[in-house]
């Protein structure tokens, strides 16, 4: 039984709680060996990975089971902790297990290197971060949810500012913590509305079970939904409350960036799904259109800003904004279909959304970890100073290539499956009662295709500038490949990208329980009715896809080409230097740069950017041109708000006169005012 003294319905929930205790023990063990880098990296982090493997097995087996719940003997006397394991929470715990296992393996090698941090303290914060995210998925009352939510924010904040001596990192951590608390405030208000918005104003308790039995009217349901959209959107990077994400991810260590992007952002998606489809029994059509529009705008914004970045971690951070936008567009489609009782299409949209959540956790974690290996090997994040690492770091280059192809949406890897399913949802849409919705859906589908195309362009830039070409700096000639633990973590996530792409039917069979929970028991199972070889969203006569056949055909073509070249043309090819345009003094500085690669996007979408250039001096022997691209939202929204609050703080600061007589006068006037009002 679980170490928690509680009555638990079901063995899987008991084992999951024991895993969380196991992670806590590992984390606090880091305090015992707080400066022992070898024990923390070689023992504690691999033990954390073993907990992730057990989490994968248990949650995969429990997704299709009926919900189980428990009341823990923790919390306050009248507010105990309620937890619940159902199909939705089991899926996101499954996602947590997959991503955390690879990241823990990688962290064993990453944190074994010297650095200006305490390895034991990082171990504690890392595993506390894992446990808090797990409790977000398990919480069945607002009290435990908010405690887990705030613990998740604080533990991740301390991980972000691991290298806190750098001023830019402290600033990024402050912005992240501020946005995290704004998000928490909106989520808390959402639960307050749900608790008080019962029939005839009769409020329930703070348990989710009680909220499920309340049926608020459209006004209070809309208020709760909008608060949830803002609160969870701020955590997930929804436009315009996205500004913390491209600041925090580059500041954090790479395993932390991988965990934040791969898993923490999905807590926002989980929260929005839980409130919208589980706690609220009312879905209004314009909610879906709002989320769909915001999602597509966020995806488009993220992908064009990703295309013009020169920092490889900022590029991936904006790419995370893009993928969150794609996921939210799937949530918007689900709400819209559900509001019109199109449950089959709603189920298909939800399956595509969940699949993309899982895919993003794998390939984005893989890419962030790859940048960590590159950063350790070269001490450089600027794409303009990297290149040619495929020769020095072949392991990282090959595994990063898998993640790059997956996030670019190329078959037969996993990124293609979820994006193809979501696009099929758009294309298979039947007629809506409103004509303008029938016009909006094709436009949204075209927007999704545009985002996917630009995302592929961005990934070509990412991979080519880091691994291909010639090294641009001398230190890159001395770069060393990832160590054993780092290779193991990268290989784990790369294997997940391949398996999720080759066997989508089996994955969808696992996911089909979630629409039954959220959309109604009568929901038809979708995309898994054919055999394991073909993926059919609704029916084979409309659309189908076979990743195994695609993979087999591609492998045969490559093999025939290879054999043909080796047997027929090998030895007949004359090798010579390429044409150098009449200029024999070619150097690595004459390669394509990060700025030139992003120039077409910067030119086409220039109204979206705030740009200024830094020109080299005429006397500079090695001139460098810099084009700085900034986010307009900082200057249109956040700077005016900051100046306003700075003005208010200066205004109230004048009350501090330093004289006791003035303070007594304030107290006297306050007392008189209270006597008049009460």
pLDDT tens profile 291-302: 999 999 999 999
pLDDT 10s digits, 379-398: 888 888 888 889 889 999 99
Average pLDDT over residues 508-527: 79
| Contact present, 197 and 203 (Cβ < 8 Å) | yes
The whole-angstrom separation of Cα 652 and Cα 488 is 56
pLDDT tens digits, one per residue of 626-652: 677 778 888 888 888 888 888 888 877
pLDDT digits (tens, 9 = 90+) for 72-101: 888 777 788 899 999 999 999 999 999 999
When mean pLDDT is compared across 190-204, 485-499, 559-573, the lowest value belongs to: 190-204
Helix, strand, or coil (residue 318) = helix
Pick the most confident of 31-45, 424-438, 656-670: 31-45
pLDDT band at 201 (very low <50, low <70, confident <90, very high): very low
CA–CA distance, 351 with 355 (Å, rounded to integer): 6
Give the Cα separation of 236 and 229 in Å (integer): 10
Work out the percent of the chain whose per-residue pLDDT is above 70: 91
More confident residue, 635 or 10: 635
pLDDT of res. 319: 93
Q: Which of 65-69, 92-96, 445-449, 520-524 has the lowest mean pLDDT?
A: 520-524
pLDDT at 83: 92
Burial of 623 (C-beta count, 10 Å sphere; 0-12/13-18/19+): exposed
CA pair distance 386, 384, nearest whole angstrom = 6
Of the candidates 194, 100, 187, the residue with the CA atom closest to the CA atom of residue 146:
187
Looking at residue 11, its pLDDT comes to 82
Residue with more model confidence, 620 or 370: 370
CA-based nearest residue to 333, from 322, 348, 355: 348
What single string gives the DSSP state of each residue in 256-271? HHHHIIIIIHHHHHHH
Cα 66 to chain center, whole Å? 28
For residues 492-502, average pLDDT: 94
Of 599 and 421, the structure prediction assigns the larger pLDDT to 421
Supply the pLDDT for residue 521: 62
Q: What is the mean pLDDT of residues 671-678?
A: 83
Q: DSSP for 339-370, please give it.
A: HTT-HHHHHHHHHHHHHHHHHHHHHHHHHHHH
Are 347 and 338 spatial neighbours (Cβ–Cβ below 8 Å)?
no
Give the residue, 8 or 525, on which the prediction is more confident.
Answer: 525
Does position 578 have pLDDT exceeding 80, yes or no? no
The CA radius of gyration of the chain, in Å to the nearest whole number, is 26
Asked if residue 237 lies in contact with residue 324, where contact means CB atoms within 8 angstroms, the answer is: yes
Q: Is the per-residue pLDDT at 441 higher than 90?
A: no
- Between the CA of residue 119 and those of 68, 301, 480, 623, what are the distances in Å? 37, 37, 23, 41
Q: Which DSSP symbol is given to 577?
A: P
| CA–CA distance, 149 with 268 (Å, rounded to integer) | 10
User: Helix (H, G, I), strand (E, B), or coil: what is residue 42?
Assistant: helix
Distance CA 345, CA 432 (A): 12
Residue 641's nearest CA partner among 175, 245, 295, 259 is: 175
Angle, CA 390 vertex, CA 388 and CA 392 arms, to 5°: 85
The pLDDT, as a whole number, for residue 1 is: 42
Tokens of 375: 């950063």
Provide mean pLDDT across the span 39-53.
93
- Give pLDDT tens digits for 318-371: 999 999 999 999 999 999 999 888 888 899 999 999 999 999 999 999 999 999
pLDDT score at 10:
67
How confident is the model at residue 28, as a pLDDT?
A: 93
Structure tokens at 476: 């890159």
Residue 437: Cβ within 10 Å count = 16
pLDDT, residue 166, reads 84
Which phi and psi (to 5°) does residue 575 adopt?
-100, 130
Structure-token pair, residue 356: 């993309």
* Residues 415, 360: Cα–Cα separation, whole Å: 8
Q: Which residue has the higher pLDDT, 219 or 616?
A: 219
Q: State the average pLDDT over residues 211-227.
A: 87
Place of tokens 């995290």: 180
Q: What is the 3-state secondary structure (H, E, C) of 205-259?
A: CCEHHHHHCCCCCHHHHHHHHHHHHHHHHHHHCCCCCCCCHHHHHHHCCHHHHHH
Whether residue 379 contacts residue 346, with contact meaning beta carbons closer than 8 Å, is answered with no
Give 478's pLDDT tier (boundaries 50, 70, 90).
confident
pLDDT value of residue 27? 93
Alpha carbon of residue 76 to chain centroid: 33
Q: Contact, 55 vs 138, CB < 8 A?
A: no
Range with the lowest mean pLDDT among 131-140, 305-314, 521-530? 521-530
469-478, 504-513, 531-540: which is most confident: 504-513
Burial class (CB within 10 angstroms; exposed 0-12, middle 13-18, buried 19+) of 577: exposed
Query: Which residues, in sequence order, are bridge partners of residue 612?
Result: 628
Nearest residue to 279 via CA among 288, 292, 270: 270
Supply the pLDDT for residue 493: 95
Per-position b or e across 80-91, b if 16+ CB within 10 A of its CB: bbbbbbbbbbbb
According to the model, what pLDDT value does residue 364 have?
94
Closest by Cα among 136, 224, 235, 137 to 182? 235
Q: Are strands 609-614 and 68-76 parallel, antiparallel or unpaired?
A: unpaired
């Amino acid at each position: 039984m679980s170490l928690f003294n509680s009555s638990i319905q079901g063995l899987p929930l008991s084992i999951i709680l024991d895993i969380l205790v196991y992670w806590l023990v590992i984390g606090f063990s880091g305090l015992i060996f707080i400066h022992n880098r070898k024990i923390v990296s070689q023992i504690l982090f691999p033990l954390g990975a073993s907990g992730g493997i057990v989490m994968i097995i248990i949650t995969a087996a429990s997704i299709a089971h009926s919900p189980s719940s428990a009341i823990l003997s923790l919390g306050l006397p009248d507010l105990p902790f309620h937890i619940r394991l159902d199909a939705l929470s089991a899926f996101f715990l499954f996602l947590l297990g997959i991503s955390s296992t690879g990241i823990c393996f990688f962290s064993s090698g990453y944190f074994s290197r010297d650095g200006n941090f305490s390895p034991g303290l990082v171990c504690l914060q890392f595993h506390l971060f894992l446990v808090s995210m797990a409790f977000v998925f398990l919480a069945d009352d607002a009290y435990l949810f908010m405690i887990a939510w705030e613990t998740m924010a604080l533990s991740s904040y301390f991980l972000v500012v691991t290298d806190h001596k750098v001023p830019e990192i402290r600033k990024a951590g402050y912005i992240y913590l501020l946005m995290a608390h704004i998000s928490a405030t909106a989520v808390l208000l959402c639960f307050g509305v749900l608790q008080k918005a019962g029939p005839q104003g009769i409020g329930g308790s703070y348990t989710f079970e009680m909220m499920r039995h309340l049926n608020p009217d459209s006004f209070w349901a809309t208020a709760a939904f909008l608060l949830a959209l803002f609160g969870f959107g701020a955590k997930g990077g929804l436009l315009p409350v996205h500004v913390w994400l491209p600041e925090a991810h580059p500041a954090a260590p790479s395993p932390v960036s991988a965990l934040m992007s791969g898993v923490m952002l999905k807590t926002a998606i989980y929260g929005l799904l839980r409130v919208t489809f589980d706690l609220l029994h009312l879905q209004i059509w314009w909610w879906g259109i709002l989320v769909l529009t915001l999602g597509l705008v966020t995806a488009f914004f993220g992908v064009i800003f990703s295309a013009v970045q020169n920092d490889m971690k900022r590029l991936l951070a904006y790419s995370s904004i893009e993928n969150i936008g794609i996921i939210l567009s799937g949530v918007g489609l689900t709400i819209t279909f559900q509001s019109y009782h199109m449950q089959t299409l709603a189920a298909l949209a939800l399956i595509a959304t969940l699949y993309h959540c899982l895919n993003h956790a794998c390939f984005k974690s893989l890419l962030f970890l790859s940048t960590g290996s590159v950063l350790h090997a070269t001490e450089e994040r600027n794409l303009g100073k990297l290149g040619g690492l495929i020769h020095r770091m072949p392991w990282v280059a090959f595994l990063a290539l898998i993640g790059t192809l997956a996030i670019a949406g190329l078959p037969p890897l996993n990124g293609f499956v979820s994006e193809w399913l979501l696009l099929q949802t758009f294309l298979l849409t039947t007629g809506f009662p409103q004509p303008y919705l029938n016009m909006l859906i094709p436009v949204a589908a075209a927007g999704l295709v545009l985002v996917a195309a630009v995302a592929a362009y961005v990934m070509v830039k990412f991979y080519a500038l880091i691994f291909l070409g010639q090294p641009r700096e001398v230190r890159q000639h001395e770069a060393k490949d990832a160590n054993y633990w780092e290779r193991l973590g990268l290989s784990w996530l790369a294997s997940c990208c391949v398996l999720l792409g080759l066997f989508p039917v089996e994955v969808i069979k696992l996911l089909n329980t979630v629409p039954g929970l959220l959309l109604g028991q009568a929901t038809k199972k979708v995309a898994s009715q054919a055999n394991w070889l073909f993926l059919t969203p609704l029916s084979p006569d409309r659309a189908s896809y076979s990743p195994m056949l695609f993979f087999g055909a591609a492998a045969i073509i490559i093999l025939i080409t290879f054999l043909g070249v080796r047997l027929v043309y090998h030895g007949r090819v004359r090798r010579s230097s390429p044409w150098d345009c009449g200029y024999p003094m070619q150097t690595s500085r004459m390669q394509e740069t990060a700025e030139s690669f992003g120039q077409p996007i910067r030119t086409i979408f220039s109204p979206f950017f705030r740009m200024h250039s830094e020109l080299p001096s005429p006397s500079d022997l090695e001139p460098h041109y810099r084009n700085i691209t900034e986010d307009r939202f900082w200057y249109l929204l956040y700077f005016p708000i900051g100046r306003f609050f700075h003005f208010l703080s200066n205004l109230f600061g004048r009350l501090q006169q330093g004289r006791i007589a003035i303070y007594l006068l304030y107290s006297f006037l306050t007392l008189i005012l209270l006597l008049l009002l009460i």
